[in-house]
Amino acid sequence: MPQFSRNLDVYQGFNFKKDKQNPVGYITAITIGGEALAADQETIKDPENPDAPIADKVVAVLNHYLWETGVTDAMYFSGQVSVANKQKIAEMLLGNFSNIEVNFKYVIYEYDPIGKKYFKSNFLDAEMKGLLEKNGDDLNMSIADNESREVQSPKNFTFQIGIKPQAAEQSLNLATSSSKKIAKKWGITEAAAK
């Protein structure tokens, strides 16, 4: 089965330049176990309209995204978060999780060399509902102790998370160019117990 895997340019994500054509991505909202991370990166440029900031404020500037494209496959995100979000994630990791629900929104942009413009290559129409993935007994979420050096200001830290779908069918959009889009499903709806 094909996969959707992208290495994303953190520097371009923070410092958008029209003459560069590297893919970029953002988590624009995420709530983990009922705790919302702040969308506190406010002046990130919109690749489709680089003279304006992105419509949604940004929680994380992504450096990698992976989804194997199966309806039950987990999504994996790695990106840079603020000091405040680093502290909140570290607090969550030191606590005990009784609620592993994750609600999130994200977007990935790529450059279309034929259309000569950026386009959304992976995006949502509505917030996704997932669960923190487990690796054995451990939850698949981490935060770096030391700040990243790729972009030195604002201070940022590498955050990683694996999210599997809740038991409900959801939709996301993939695109291979600015004019070719495909809707994909994530999650399977379970029948209610009788």
Compute the distance between CA of residue 190 and CA of residue 167 in angstroms, rounded to an integer. Answer: 6
E strand spans, the chain: 4-7, 24-32, 35-36, 45-46, 49-53, 60-67, 75-81, 101-112, 117-123, 128-132, 134-135, 138-139, 141-143, 157-165, 170-177, 180-186
The confidence score (pLDDT) of residue 1 equals 66
The confidence score (pLDDT) of residue 194 equals 61
Compute the distance between CA of residue 134 and CA of residue 5 in angstroms, rounded to an integer. Answer: 20
Is the pLDDT at 83 greater than 80? The verdict is yes
Q: Are 115 and 134 contacting, i.e. CB atoms less than 8 angstroms apart?
A: no
Compute the distance between CA of residue 187 and CA of residue 120 in angstroms, rounded to an integer. Answer: 22
pLDDT tens by residue, 100-127: 999 999 999 999 999 999 999 999 999 9
The confidence score (pLDDT) of residue 133 equals 95
pTM over 0.85: yes
Is the pLDDT at 192 greater than 80? The verdict is no
> Does 59 or 42 have the greater pLDDT score?
59
Domain residue limits, the chain: 4-186
Mean pLDDT of 173-180: 92
Is the pLDDT at 193 greater than 70? The verdict is no
Is the pLDDT at 153 greater than 90? The verdict is no
Query: What average pLDDT does the chain have?
Result: 93
Is the pLDDT at 146 greater than 90? The verdict is yes
| From 2-6, 61-65, 106-110, 135-139, the region with the lowest mean pLDDT | 135-139
